[in-house]
Structure formats: structure tokens, C-alpha cells
Amino acid sequence: MDNKNTTYKDIVKLDTNLDTNLDTNLDTNLDTNLDTNYKPYLEFSRNEEENEEENEEEIEEKPIKNQNTVDIINLSDNGSSNIVYEILRFFDDMYVSGRTYIENNYFNLSSNDDFNLVYPNIYVGNYSVSTNYELLKGLGITHIISVIPFFNPPFEDKFKYLHIQAYDDEIQDMKNHFNTTNEFIKECLLQGGKILIHCMVGRSRSITIFTAFLIYIIKGGFNQCIISLDEDIYNSNDTSNIIEYKKLSENNKKHRIYSNPDSYNNTDEKITSKEHEMPKLSKKEENFILYKKRKMINDIEELINNYNLLDKEYNNLIKTKFVDTEELQELFNNMKLQFSSKMLEQILNYVKSNRSCAFPNPNFINQLKNILF
């Protein structure tokens, strides 16, 4: 090329043509012209870029997981959960079977007077109480509900038993037993008997059965007027009254102390004498047990009134539902749950005021909520 006849424009044009031809040749002859060791690297780079793009999309969709967190497995969501619970129940059966045999034949493994009067002629306690024949006879117990996995009644010929096979876990269905237990308790009270409801500790399963009966009363299944308390006036020296008076006075003393923690710092407020343990009774309430039983009935009457108000409010809201839509149905379900939670809280407060260790597991609480409204 002659430098004299070549202009600047010609140089630029020539350079552009060379670049274009070079790019074309590289694209068409890459497989043959490039070193074979370099080709896999290019392919890997392209694949890596594609994977990075896909990973970026996944990262945007999935939240970043904290390495210090532990996944919580919901056992109720898969079939394998049943296997886990079956294993746990197997060991529970072994424990209950061994413990009931020991307590029935040899000695108690817990206090055999751990019971409370929770409603007129209804008692809740642990398993050891059910093996204390002198106590049961003294209280005048006629019926017993055993809410335990393994049934081995110590005095089968002395009392009328109802066995509810139940475990204190998150898959136990207690609701299916409520009709049976409610009728059994009702039958006992109509006959003028007294009933003990027990599980192993007297805290969850037995409390659930008793609470279901309270709901049964509150919803009109049992009329409290049937219970006659007048006979207790003439039985002030009766063995059952002596036992109940001792238990109720101790419970009243604990309630006063726990509700007034400053009493520990004030000797004048400490409860040390029986006259302070007892409420101030009128002449008509000279019998302490009669007073307590009447108070229980009055407390339940108050719960009945509260329930009726909530039930009326809930039914009025249902009547205003003109269009049945999923959103509206969900709204009413939430309101139903709120009403049930509010009412059950009041009922459990009553139960705990008479048996302080009462504490049904969350699964049982949800089942109790479902039968309220």
C-alpha cells in the first residue's frame, strides 16, 4: 500500500474490515482454531454463568436461613409422626402398668391425699388417691373415672368405674369421650353419689374431663338445682366433712398467702389461726363445706350468665350474615374462636381456683374450645 495515496479514512476503513473478518473467523472456527485445552474452560465458564443466574433467582425467592436456627419438625403433618407417638405411648404403657401394679399392691409413689373438691360431690386427684381406700370410703366416693392408658382398678368390686384410655399428648382425641364421661358424671350426681376423676397426676387429662362437664352444665346439659346441699347441715361431724374441711381450709390458706405476698413481711397479716383460715360465715353458713359448695354453684351460675351473653352476641352476629363468602366465613370463624377463648379462660380460672395445679395441654384446650359454641 502506497502511503502517499492512502488517506486517514482509508486506514480506518481497512482496520474496520480486518476486525470484522477476524471476529467472523473466530466465531466460525472456534472449535478448530483454538487450543483444545481452552475449549472446556469456555464451556465451563458459560455453564457457571448460567448457574449463577439461576442461583440468583432462587436466592431472591427463598429467604436467607440463619445457620444457628434449628428446623422444627411438625410431627402431625406426616405419617411418620404416628410411629414416634406409638413409641412414646409404648413406654408410657410400660410406666403406667408398672406404677399401677406397685401402688395397688405395695406402696404409693406420690401423695395419696392429693385431691380437691372442684364441684359439689366431684373430686379431682392423682392416681395414688384412687388407691387410698380409707380416704375414698371416708369421702363417700361411689364412682371413679380413670383417665389413664392402662386400666388396673385396685377396688373393682367397691366402686363403679369408667375407664377412658387416654394419653397426655398432642394427638390424643379427648372430644370423642366427652359424651360418655358427661353422662357418667350426671348419673352419679342424680343418684346422690360422689365421684373421683383421676389421671396419673391430676393435672391435664382429669382436668379436661371435668372441664368438659362444666361446659356441659353451662350449656344446659345438667341442672344445678338437682344437687341438694341441705343434708350437709346435719352432717357437720361426718367423716367426709372433716376431710373436706381440712383440705378446703388448707387451700383457702394457700390462696390467701399467694394473693397477698406482702403478708410475709407483716406478722399481723400472716394466717396462723383457723379463724383466719375460715371465711366469716353467717349462722346459715356455719357448715364450712356447705358454704364452699354453695359458692361453687354460684360461681358456675355466673359462668352460665356470661356464656349466655356471649352466645346471644354471637348468634346476633350470625344473623347479620347476608352473603356467604369465604372471607365472611373466615371472619365468623375467628370471632367464634375469640368467644370460645374468652369463655374457656373464665372456666379454667374457676377450675384453678379449686385445684391450683390444673393445666390441660394445648391440644386438650383446643378441643374444649371447639365444644363451647
pLDDT in tens, 55-92: 544 444 444 444 433 333 344 455 667 899 999 999 99
Nearest to 170 by CA among 104, 250, 76, 52: 76
Quote the number of domains for the chain. 2
* Residue at 180 is within a domain: yes
If you write DSSP's letter for every residue of 67-109 in order, what string do you get? TT--PPP-GGGSTHHHHHHHHHHHHHHHHHHHHHHHHHHT--S
Confidence of residue 165 (pLDDT cuts 50, 70, 90): very high
d(CA 180, CA 202): 19
- 193 and 334 part of one domain: yes
Does residue 4 sit in the same domain as residue 122? Answer: no
Residue 177 has pLDDT above 50, yes or no: yes
The rounded distance, in Å, linking the Cα atoms of 170 and 60 is 36
In a domain, 61, yes or no: no
Pick from 118, 141, 139, 123: nearest CA to 238 = 139
CATH code, 315? 3.90.190.10
Is 310 within a domain?
Answer: yes
Which is more confident, 6 or 249? 249
On average, the pLDDT of the chain sits at 77
- Which residues constitute the domain of residue 15? 1-40
Residue 23 has what pLDDT?
Answer: 46
> Which residue of the set 188, 199, 225, 357 is catalytic?
199
- Residues 216-264: pLDDT tens digits? 999 999 999 988 886 655 555 567 777 877 777 776 665 544 444 443 3
**Is 225 labeled as catalytic in the residue annotation?**
no
